[in-house]
Structure 1
Amino acid sequence: MKSSSIRSAAVIGSGVMGAGIAAHLANAGMRVVLLDVAPTQLTAEEEKKGLTLADAAVRNRLAAAAVAKMPKAQPAQLYDPAWVKRITPGNLSDHLSLIGDADWIVEAVVERLDVKREVLAAIESARRPGTLISTNTSGLSVSAMAEGRSLEFRRHFAATHFFNPPRYMKLVEVVPTEETDPETVALLTELCEKRLGKGVVVAKDTPNFIANRIGTYGMLVTLSDTLEHGLTVEEADALTGPAMGRPKTATFRMLDLVGLDTLIHVVDNVRERSADDEEKAIFARPEILSALVSQGRLGEKSGAGFYRKQRGAGGRSRIESLNLRTMEYGDQSRVSSSVIDAAKAAKGAAAKAKALLTADPSHKHAQFAWSTIKKTLLYSAAQMGIIADSITDIDRAMRWGFNWELGPFELWDAIGLEKSVARMKKEGERIPEWVEAWLADGHGSFYKEADQKRFYATKGGYAAETAESDVISLSALKSSGKTVLSTSGASLIDIGDDVVCLEFHSQNNAIGGEILTAIRQSVQEVSRNWRGLVLANEGRNFCVGANLMLLLMEAQNGEWEEVEEIIRFFQDSMLRLKRLDRPVVAAPHRMTLGGGVEACLPADQIILSPETYFGLVETGVGLIPAGGGCKEAAALAASRAKAAGGSDLQSPLNALFETIAMAKASTSGHEAAKLGLLRPQDRVVTRQDARIAEAKRAVLELDRAGYAPPAEERIAVAGREGKAVLKLAVQSMRFSGLISEHDALIGSKLAHVLAGGDVKPGAEVSEQYLLDLECEAFLSLCGERKTQERMSHMLSTGKPLRN
């Protein structure tokens, strides 16, 4: 059976995880039945309506309420709110038979073994033989759940541990039992990877599997070492966040988000299921956690944990931190030290870790960092063969499930395997036997790279790491010498089959002169020597826009010639990209805003990942798109009017004007089409990590079809009458108090550009004419004090200013 044949699913349990999984299955195009128990009591509202326990509205209440929340959930659960129609709510008592039509059944009820067994028994009574069944559990015994079920059931049963929120977190741990058919594991892996866009690791059926086992251990170690070294929670978080190649939530903020009671549950689960006394001691309940939970201080959900949000003067909120000695809250302190500063200055997770560990060894921050890293590395190595069969599965689980930049074995290599083990031994630590044997055999690292492949440590020597299917790694290609040209802001990389990829790598991938220069150089190089070009990168975001700081500095200094030169350089670079005589395909991901969108629009095709947040958002900083964005929007409106018969240019123009004027950005790649920013040839791929390979395929298809670049076009515009319609909408919003006076000014200038100025309605204008209008409007807005205030506020806070 192929994953493509799985078209319908049933999810049992409509809580946070069940609803999230159901929504993501709907994102994958499946028809989903979401079932929960039928309530045994009426709510006050139901009694008021005169409903009884026999009414469908009552019996389906739990699942129906979960479905009703999905379209407006934050963060969004669905790629498109309209896809909620793919989910049908019901209850187990009345609708159990519906699971007989499902191709995949996911049990996601409360984390209690007795309840899960009961539900699985009900599932077996109604399921069709051969149907996939999986349980979503964060660490209960999968084998114990399946006890009492038939052999046929057990062969088709495994755990699929999704991380929360299911749409956004990449990791899914597939956990088979000894009786699970290998074909079931293969099908679940293919389903999660290709249909749901996940990264899959196969874990062993041990307490809390891989990521939660190591992640929880790391949190316990951090808590213990924080107390031992006399650090504050702020100091510990400053050291165990980005400074260690981990998320900003670090340790104590993460604990508050997860819930201290949830951590206690995970800790208890490992301890109670372990037969090893040393393991039981490691996962003993920390006294401070027990005390906080008993006091109802559970973290963010209760309003207080290791941090507490308080309302201050003027209604503003302030964050207080817990004093671990007094258990009282006080104002947060700013944390700084030579150790933290060294890590901040280093670039990349490997360099940051080295900086932490090579800083002044007498400083308590360096001692704390070494202690927590050392213990986590040793524990991870001790779990090899117990929780997973390979170090690469452990590393991937921590990168994908906890958002570590480096997994434990990758981190060990980064700080120096031989040198760090020697230090551990000197300090009396016990090194796992297999690590000792590995070093004794003359190996100096757990990983090595050769022939564009990565190899990892096994008992028999290095083994080739199984690459994720349909994934092109730009970093691996660069390491193997495939860089064609490079500037400080971008690199052109050979990705095979005579196709190259232009990768941005400036700070935040913001477009400045170095990227634009690389675009021009790439256009020349590709025209001479290659079949086509892909625009993509592996940064956190594709591109957050143009270099706002440079523009603000020039504007504040009144250097208007320089500002115009920047705009013209941007516009001309985009035109060169559009006129390239080889196919160009853009593959954006995550934040693709402002100038990032303008870099994609000249491409012959845009292939977005589901998690692409796409929008021309310049009005948020008091500007309008001026890198060709307005020109391309006008062209989109004209092409849509032509496709609809050509008589109504105003309607498509109005829609695009609203999208740009309101600085709308999509919450998914799919929603970008609804905002009117995509063309018919643009599309969304299921897996974010496959977007570069898919873009390369698209380039080759265009080349094989006999590619010819688009000719310079004349664009039909709405002219002065169309502009009047747009400006009337702006004034209406201003008179209604929905926008400020400065918003109205920006909107009016945007209307002037998108409508083509004061030409007659339907006039056909050149691309350069529209680019000139863009430039003129942009320059005038740059000179406005309120625009400069907006730009400054965005740079300092990361948030828009409404002035």
Structure 2
Amino acid sequence: MSRFMIRKVAVLGAGVMGAQIAAHCASADVPVILFDLPAKEGPPNGIAAKSLAGLGKLDPAPFATRDRAQHVEPADYGSDLARLGECDLVIEAIAERMDWKLDLYARVAPHLKPGAVFASNTSGLSIQALAAGMPPDRRPRFCGIHFFNPPRYMPLVELIPAAETEPAMLDGLETWLTTRLGKNIVRARDTPNFVANRVGVFSILAVMHHTARLGLAFDEVDLLTGPRIGRPKSATFRTADVVGLDTVAHVIDTMQATLADDPWSSHFRTPEWLQVLIARGALGQKSGAGIYRKDGKRILVLDLHRQDYVDSGGEVFPDVEDILKLRDAGEKFAELAAHPHPQAQFLWSVFRDVFHYCAVHLADIADNARDIDLAMRWGFGWTMGPFETWQAAGWRAVARLIQEDIDHGRAMANVPLPAWVGERDGVHAPSGSWSAAEGVLEPRTALPVYRRQLYPDRVFGEAPADRGELLWENTGVRLWRRPDQDAGIGILSITSKMHAIGDDVMDGILEAIARAQADLDGLVIWHEPPFAVGANLQQVAQACHAHRFDLLDRMVARFQHTAMTIRHAQIPVVAAVQGMALGGGCEFLMHAAHRVLALESYIGLVEAGVGLIPAGGGSKEFALQAHAMAQRAAGGDVFPYIQNAFQTIAMATVAKSALEAVQLGFARAGDDIVFNAAELLYVAIRRARALAEAGWHPPLPQRAVIVAGRNGIATCEMLLLNMAEGGMISPHDYRVAKAAATALCGGEVDSGTQVSEQWILDVERAQFVELLKTHKTQQRIGHMLETGKPLRN
């Protein structure tokens, strides 16, 4: 079988969704042609071009770095259709109108490349009906491909085959989406709204129904249906505002039109209050008002009784708050079901009806229970899916409560639970997850791409994660390996809270590297995110309070020694980074032999936020980079390369993607960037092996680093003076930034002086300790520890 390759993508439809799909492909270095209707005025591709320009205003950013926009070309259906012949994958992402889609298919089909994959990014229309609009010879390469919004950040993609879809093509597309675009795939059946939206929209409808039935306020419900029950902070009604109230209504209308035989069909109706808001143009966040509205700094919420917006507030009833804090999930549900308060009844009712709905429809909408649970995690941000939540609470006990409410007419539908519910103790087991359609436990897919995911998302009741073979551990780190992957490559995992770097972590890293040098071929630093949030500020604050600045000097020296041990280890040390790598965590990865970075990694030297500068070798690393780049430039002046680093450190700039981390100098152009974070450890182990096999050896300490010296410091100060005079920075900001400039420029030496790495380390350590002695830096550290937020003083 020939290799499945996607070299160029076309996206049909430059709306918000289509443009963002194009942006994510471009971030993955896949060139894209973005099509839309010909513009009535100006260049024919003006509609697509305007949409692309608008992406730069979106937050969060659709592109991993701004320069990736150059890889998306605007086009139009009038003069550019022949260019579809350049593309291996064509994604249709126009409005959810069957007639419009079929008309477009007829226009574009003659221009498709032989063997190209054509996919519709529909959120719920029939894939079989759409496939009928393609020529018969094109149907084997046609399927549904449902991205969730925003495509860069939401991991779920539903793949939906039509009857004639070629299985090998679907496998190839799943593999490409998984590794190249970093997506988590659920194979969905061709039923209305597929899997995630079918359950997710029903959950929203259940919330709306019980909100009205029990007379609760919208903001009150959002307090109940957010993080307290394992859902995103935006909860239910805020999420509806973000998605767009017109979009919510459209999906509800789709369910009403296509699911007339559903036992819950009487509830598939857009509430009257929602219809009124839409008619007024109050569509949510995109129109400035919806269920919520901002008035300056005030957040207002719609009060249906007053027919007006009021200050958002509300609170959770104390008894309900106590119930939600219970550790035993079974006890929690029993208490909610029994408590008379409307908030307790609301929560139990919503959970009950979602459980009921999922059990009745499992055989129709999904291959197995695992697919529903993972779809809700990946597509809606739930901490646990409905089936695993039910199973964790005690399958049979919760089933009895549900059936009792059905029997007494309290549930939203009177259809009984399926017979299989009473025959089982749950739906997830080590051997697989329950398929109601097949009556068996289905194992995970055997598609080869998933061998790269050593720690995939697991559902409750599934086989536990393999913790590998322990080699050594202390209270701060764990040294282990996975013999099934490569017994010669060790894995070092930081185990402290938030992976903060204190004495125990530094001791552990030094011991682990010593052991790895003796017994292993390479070492990977990897653990669940965050990678590391920096030094243990609590230890620093305690030493400051005791005026133990001699101890702090030794602590920083040990931090530097640990970073340099990573750099000069006799085996390759590879940093596998996902999530936040801030402060000292960033410095450790900068000293590794190589970095494997998940795309969504947030990396930065943020010490300025607590009145400090990088002193674990971070300032030194930027000085070395400036020296290396200056050697390749005419004149050899290092300061132009110091200036960007100075601004990055002084402003505590954090890279918002791994690609941006390379641009800012926290990582290198040759580092690996992995779009699917589940593949991170697999790639890092193999990178460590490749380095070892290539005869990797540590670099020698540099003894002749040209630094910018006094002139560089003075030039940085000129920038600071302008900012200070403009009221942009405080006097202490000035002092911190000057300390950063001093470290980056190698201290008070003549410009062009050659110094050693150790000299720069000594300078940055001295500046760091002097800042610790100031009252304002101590205030900033205390404020960060108390509030988790930086203080401007």
Cα distance, 1:475–1:270 mapped onto 2, change above 3 Å: closer
Displacement of 1:2 in angstroms is 6.4
Identify the match of residue 315 of structure 2 among 329, 335, 339: 335
Corresponding residue for residue 373 of structure 2: 395
Cα distance, 1:85–1:457 mapped onto 2, change above 3 Å: same
Corresponding residue for residue 7 of structure 2: 7
2:370–2:428 contact (8 Å) kept in structure 1:
no
Corresponding residue for residue 787 of structure 1: 777
State how far apart, in whole Å, the 1-side matches of 2:589 and 2:334 are. Answer: 42
Identify the match of residue 320 of structure 1 among 294, 300, 309: 300
Corresponding residue for residue 45 of structure 1: none
Corresponding residue for residue 75 of structure 2: 90
Which secondary structure state, in structure 2, belongs to the residue aligned with residue 231 of structure 1? coil
2:105–2:133 contact (8 Å) kept in structure 1:
no
Corresponding residue for residue 357 of structure 1: 333
Cα distance, 1:11–1:748 mapped onto 2, change above 3 Å: same
1:63–1:89 contact (8 Å) kept in structure 2:
yes
Corresponding residue for residue 34 of structure 2: 34
Corresponding residue for residue 19 of structure 1: 19
Moved more, 543-552 or 192-201: 543-552
Asked if residue 412 in structure 1 is aligned to residue 369 in structure 2, the reply is: no
Displacement of 1:761 in angstroms is 4.2
1:339–1:359 contact (8 Å) kept in structure 2:
no
Corresponding residue for residue 655 of structure 1: 644
TM-score by structure 1 length? 0.88
Equivalent runs, 1:172-211 vs 2, <5 Å: 172-211=157-196
Equivalent runs, 1:607-626 vs 2, <5 Å: 607-626=596-615
Equivalent runs, 1:249-398 vs 2, <5 Å: 249-311=234-296, 317-333=297-313, 335-338=315-318, 341-342=321-322, 351=327, 353=329, 356-357=332-333, 359=335, 361-362=338-339, 364=341, 365-398=343-376
Displacement of 1:517 in angstroms is 4.4
Asked if residue 583 in structure 1 is aligned to residue 572 in structure 2, the reply is: yes
1:634–1:715 contact (8 Å) kept in structure 2:
no
Cα distance, 1:243–1:502 mapped onto 2, change above 3 Å: farther
Corresponding residue for residue 494 of structure 1: 481
Which secondary structure state, in structure 2, belongs to the residue aligned with residue 105 of structure 1? strand
Which secondary structure state, in structure 2, belongs to the residue aligned with residue 613 of structure 1? strand
Displacement of 1:487 in angstroms is 5.7
Corresponding residue for residue 149 of structure 2: 164
Asked if residue 574 in structure 1 is aligned to residue 563 in structure 2, the reply is: yes
Question: What letter is aligned with 1:227?
Answer: A
State how far apart, in whole Å, the 2-side matches of 1:681 and 1:90 are. Answer: 33
Asked if residue 773 in structure 1 is aligned to residue 763 in structure 2, the reply is: yes
Displacement of 1:681 in angstroms is 4.0
Moved more, 404-413 or 420-429: 420-429
Identify the match of residue 437 of structure 1 among 402, 411, 420: 420
State how far apart, in whole Å, the 1-side matches of 2:700 and 2:57 are. Answer: 43
State how far apart, in whole Å, the 1-side matches of 2:190 and 2:771 are. Answer: 61
1:16-57 C-alpha deviation (Å, 9 max, x unpaired): 0111111122222222221111234xxxxxxxxxxxx4x5x2
Which secondary structure state, in structure 2, belongs to the residue aligned with residue 609 of structure 1? strand
2:328–2:393 contact (8 Å) kept in structure 1:
no
State how far apart, in whole Å, the 1-side matches of 2:721 and 2:554 are. Answer: 33
Displacement of 1:395 in angstroms is 1.7
* CA-based RMSD: 3.1
State how far apart, in whole Å, the 1-side matches of 2:237 and 2:578 are. Answer: 30
Corresponding residue for residue 144 of structure 1: 129
Which secondary structure state, in structure 1, belongs to the residue aligned with residue 352 of structure 2? helix
State how far apart, in whole Å, the 2-side matches of 1:5 and 1:658 are. Answer: 41
Asked if residue 448 in structure 1 is aligned to residue 437 in structure 2, the reply is: no
State how far apart, in whole Å, the 2-side matches of 1:503 and 1:324 are. Answer: 52
TM-score by structure 2 length? 0.89
1:623-643 C-alpha deviation (Å, 9 max, x unpaired): 211222222222333333446
Cα distance, 1:234–1:112 mapped onto 2, change above 3 Å: same
State how far apart, in whole Å, the 2-side matches of 1:234 and 1:795 are. Answer: 30
Displacement of 1:116 in angstroms is 1.0
Cα distance, 1:482–1:101 mapped onto 2, change above 3 Å: closer
State how far apart, in whole Å, the 2-side matches of 1:3 and 1:246 are. Answer: 40
Asked if residue 425 in structure 1 is aligned to residue 403 in structure 2, the reply is: yes
Question: What letter is aligned with 1:330?
Answer: V
1:594–1:618 contact (8 Å) kept in structure 2:
yes
1:714–1:766 contact (8 Å) kept in structure 2:
yes
Identify the match of residue 454 of structure 2 among 472, 479, 483: 472
Cα distance, 1:623–1:339 mapped onto 2, change above 3 Å: farther
Which secondary structure state, in structure 2, belongs to the residue aligned with residue 298 of structure 1? coil
Equivalent runs, 1:370-769 vs 2, <5 Å: 370-428=348-406, 436-437=419-420, 440=423, 443-449=424-430, 455-458=432-435, 459=438, 461-466=440-445, 468-473=450-455, 479-482=465-468, 484=470, 490-496=477-483, 497-498=486-487, 499-539=489-529, 541-548=530-537, 551-552=540-541, 555=544, 558=547, 560-561=549-550, 563-564=552-553, 566-642=555-631, 647-714=636-703, 716-718=705-707, 719-735=709-725, 738-769=728-759
Question: What letter is aligned with 1:664?
Answer: T
Cα distance, 1:198–1:479 mapped onto 2, change above 3 Å: closer
Cα distance, 1:320–1:72 mapped onto 2, change above 3 Å: closer
2:533–2:582 contact (8 Å) kept in structure 1:
yes
Question: What letter is aligned with 2:442?
Answer: A
Cα distance, 1:706–1:30 mapped onto 2, change above 3 Å: closer
State how far apart, in whole Å, the 2-side matches of 1:439 and 1:494 are. Answer: 42
Question: What letter is aligned with 1:272?
Answer: A
State how far apart, in whole Å, the 2-side matches of 1:367 and 1:793 are. Answer: 40
Count of residue pairs the alignment pairs up: 772
Which secondary structure state, in structure 2, belongs to the residue aligned with residue 462 of structure 1? strand
Cα distance, 1:164–1:3 mapped onto 2, change above 3 Å: farther
1:321–1:331 contact (8 Å) kept in structure 2:
yes
Question: What letter is aligned with 1:465?
Answer: R
Question: What letter is aligned with 2:171?
Answer: A
State how far apart, in whole Å, the 1-side matches of 2:167 and 2:751 are. Answer: 66
Identify the match of residue 217 of structure 2 among 232, 248, 255: 232
Moved more, 551-560 or 140-149: 551-560
1:198-239 C-alpha deviation (Å, 9 max, x unpaired): 111111111111111111111111222233344333332222
Moved more, 270-279 or 111-120: 270-279
Which secondary structure state, in structure 2, belongs to the residue aligned with residue 772 of structure 1? helix
Moved more, 671-680 or 225-234: 225-234
State how far apart, in whole Å, the 1-side matches of 2:56 and 2:197 are. Answer: 30
State how far apart, in whole Å, the 1-side matches of 2:550 and 2:320 are. Answer: 41
Percentage of pairs with the same residue: 37
Which secondary structure state, in structure 2, belongs to the residue aligned with residue 94 of structure 1? coil
Which secondary structure state, in structure 1, belongs to the residue aligned with residue 370 of structure 2? helix
Question: What letter is aligned with 2:513?
Answer: V
Displacement of 1:257 in angstroms is 1.0
Cα distance, 1:215–1:483 mapped onto 2, change above 3 Å: farther
